[in-house]
Structure 1
Amino acid sequence: MGLGIYIQDRQGNRLGYIPDVEDEFRRVSTSGPWESVRRGVMVHGNTTFNRLQLMRLVEELENLEGERGPVVEQVIEAARTAIDQSNYLHIVGD
């Protein structure tokens, strides 16, 4: 099972879900440079990105070349939505 990616509000309610069944987002995260935000995704634990971290994550993901598949595109859109609504992106590893 891959990562589960959720848009989450400040009360912890899940507002949206992106499955990473083919491990696309996991590969993009673990291949990032050590100083990147995406490298901070815990593939065997939980990771929550706040608004400021999401702005940097979106920038990193938009700058990827050749690695932006459908799940990455969905994560970018989910992150933008979370930024606009002051929500979080919560990633659950397996």
Structure 2
Amino acid sequence: MYIFLENQQHERISEKVGDDAAESFTSACQAAPEGSIMRGVQRYGDTMLNKLQLERFVRELHQLPEEQKTEAIRHVTEMAQQAAACGGYMYFSGD
């Protein structure tokens, strides 16, 4: 999975980053409760989150247990906060 940010004009505003070798972010999304934004992030499809979805997504990431917050998850959280702050989008490109 690759992740990057877009501004309101859908221009890429970040480098493309991937999950860690253990796929901690992808695994956390798959284990998230039904109906959560995290659960909606697709491993094999593409997912785009807007400002409103990003705000909820960040709350869900913050609610993860501390021992589950890997470097990859912390980085995704920072990216989501950045995208929400500029009214942009977060794009997840599944394999």
By the TM > 0.5 criterion, same fold? Answer: yes
Post-superposition shift, 1:10? Answer: 2.5
- Among all aligned residue pairs of Structure 1 and Structure 2, give the percentage whose two residues are the same amino acid: 30
2:17 maps to which residue?
18
Post-superposition shift, 1:42? Answer: 1.1
Post-superposition shift, 1:60? Answer: 0.5
Q: As a proportion of its length, which structure holds more helix?
A: 2
Post-superposition shift, 1:24? Answer: 1.6
In the alignment, the residues of structure 2 paired with residue 55 and residue 12 of structure 1 have an alpha-carbon distance, to the nearest angstrom, of 18
Structure 1: runs of 5+ lacking an equivalent: none
How many residues get paired?
A: 92
Post-superposition shift, 1:11? Answer: 2.6
Post-superposition shift, 1:73? Answer: 0.5
Q: Give the root-mean-square deviation of aligned CA atoms.
A: 1.0
Q: As a proportion of its length, which structure holds more strand?
A: 1
Indicate if the aligned counterparts of 1:7 and 1:14 stay in contact, CA closer than 8 A. Answer: yes
Q: TM-score, normalised by structure 2?
A: 0.91
Structure 2: runs of 5+ lacking an equivalent: none
Indicate if the aligned counterparts of 2:20 and 2:72 stay in contact, CA closer than 8 A. Answer: no
